[in-house]
Amino acid sequence: MEKLLNICKIIQAYNVGSPLNIEEVVQVSHQVEADIEDRTPRLRFLSEINLKGEFMNTLQQLTNHKQEANYFIPTIDTIIQQSYMKPLAMWCPLLNESLMSYFIHQFKLESHLSLLFDYFLFGSSTFVTGLKETFFKSHISLEHDTSWPPKFYHLNTAFKDLLLEEEQDLISFSIRKTTRSSPWLNPNSVTALDFLQLNYHASYPLNILITPNIIEKYNRIFTFSLQVFRTSTITKRMYEPLKNGVWHRTSIRDTICLYRFRLDQFMTAVQGYIHDTAIQTTWFRFIQHVKDMPLTDDYAVIMEPYAFREYHEHVLDCILYKCFSKKSQTTIMEVLYAVMHDIIIFGVVLDDYAVTDSVGEEKLLMKCRLIFEQFEKHTKIFVRVLRVLEEKGSGRLSNILNTTTSNVFKDLYAKHERNSGVDVFVRDLLVRLNLNGFL
């Protein structure tokens, strides 16, 4: 058993990057085989035993094993424990660890995760800038013709330009099937870009860790991030036409600019929260655990492909909870959608305005004021909902996981992330809103 442990230590050292000494492994392996052969109990055949004379002596030798260990036959329980259970207890975790080490080093798992982060979670600034240039060209709102959603062949060239050539075999865009009830039929709705999704082509054996269900969760985060990004872009694109346009009454322009500034403050708080707290903080802790997997005892449970897949899903679920994108959080999302819809309609009104005279400016101001009043009403409801969540304890991710999750990752989260400041995600958003004057 001791020599078997030595082999385990050699393999564990190899899994964490130490060079493998083949001669040492072969030598220890031969020692284990010889040791097993020498210690195997042997008894003479029954036909060779004189039942009359030697039977009682043999029986005494079997029972008095302390004096004659070579002739001791252990019980079945002892054989099972020593010959099967203990070796399996050592070899199974080692086999899982070796397999995960193979995924990490040979199949470049971390590189695949990095690609998923860059595109699905908006981790690449180049990709985000490309999306902005694709959907926002000369207007404040979405660029569109008479039909919406646009045909895929109209967007295909632009989409290909967003991806590096060497990544196009792994990542691609696609369009969801459109029906009469699809939520993206109106280009001025919050869900106008929900027709767009990303695909990740993970071949075997990577598809054991990156499954269609995991990609579906990535796409849910991508969809929500795209909604927030699109709304935030609108508030920023309002500035130039307001500043550089011809105005008969600058007081009207200044009032509308003040409205725009408040809209932008809200989206700055929300987008910063989504990017920094909901996604980045959660993701970087996940990647750190991937890097430390061979070296940490706490996360040894994920050093097995199927357990890692479950942990991967658990991390995405944590992000979805912080983005208020789980089914149990539908009410919160509806209130946030109402605020974002007000901002989008505000941009549409400015887009449709054509310079006329002071009377036209008065009408524009009236429309903007009505939308802004609706925006303020909806933001107050949103803040009130967040405060209720915080007071009830539903603003802590650990409390949500306690009521919705029954796996070991809940305990790992409670041990490592709960007291690190990332647990109180609703409070973080409230602080950001407060700093921007919404409390």
**pLDDT value, residue 417:** 64
Reply yes or no on whether the pLDDT at 211 is more than 50: yes
Q: Please give the average per-residue pLDDT across 70-93, as a whole number.
A: 67
Of all helices (H) and strands (E), which one includes residue 311?
helix 305-322
Displacement of CA 275 from its chain's centroid (Å): 13
Nearest to 234 by CA among 259, 198, 252, 254: 259
pLDDT in tens, 135-171: 877 677 776 656 788 888 778 878 888 888 878 889 9
Its pTM surpasses 0.85: no
Q: Picking from 207-221, 236-250, 299-313, 399-413, which range would have the lowest pLDDT averaged per residue?
A: 399-413
**pLDDT value, residue 114:** 94
**pLDDT value, residue 381:** 97
Reply yes or no on whether the pLDDT at 388 is more than 70: yes
**pLDDT value, residue 232:** 95
Of all helices (H) and strands (E), which one includes residue 198?
strand 196-200
- 438: CB partners within 8 A, 6+ apart: 265, 266, 269, 379, 383
Instruction: Kindly report the average pLDDT of the chain as a whole number.
Output: 81
pLDDT in tens, 327-369: 989 999 999 999 999 999 999 999 888 877 889 999 999 999 9
**pLDDT value, residue 67:** 46
Residue 152 or residue 435, greater confidence: 435
**pLDDT value, residue 26:** 57
Q: Please give the average per-residue pLDDT across 22-32, as a whole number.
A: 58
Residue 198 dihedral angles phi and psi, to the nearest 5°: -110, 150
Residue 139 or residue 225, greater confidence: 225
How far, in Å, CA of 108 to CA of 278, rounded?
26
Question: What residues pair up with 200 in beta bridges, in sequence order?
Answer: 171
Q: Please give the average per-residue pLDDT across 58-73, as a whole number.
A: 55
Structure tokens at 98: 């070796």
Percent of the chain with pLDDT over 90: 43
**pLDDT value, residue 54:** 62
Rg (CA), the chain: 32
Highest mean pLDDT: which range of 25-34, 147-156, 312-321: 312-321
Residue 308 or residue 300, greater confidence: 308
Question: What residues pair up with 171 in beta bridges, in sequence order?
Answer: 200
How far, in Å, CA of 134 to CA of 155, rounded?
8
How far, in Å, CA of 340 to CA of 231, rounded?
6
**pLDDT value, residue 254:** 95
- 323: CB partners within 8 A, 6+ apart: 221, 224, 225, 274, 278, 279
DSSP designation for 177: P
Q: Picking from 84-88, 242-246, 309-313, 378-382, which range would have the lowest pLDDT averaged per residue?
A: 84-88
Percent of the chain with pLDDT over 70: 72
Highest mean pLDDT: which range of 22-36, 54-68, 93-107, 216-230: 216-230
DSSP annotation string for 342-411 = HHHHHHHHHHH-----HHHHHHHHHHHHHHHHHHHHHHHHHHHHHHHHHHHTTTBHHHHHHHH--SHHHH
Q: Please give the average per-residue pLDDT across 52-57, as a whole number.
A: 59
Residue 228 or residue 13, greater confidence: 228
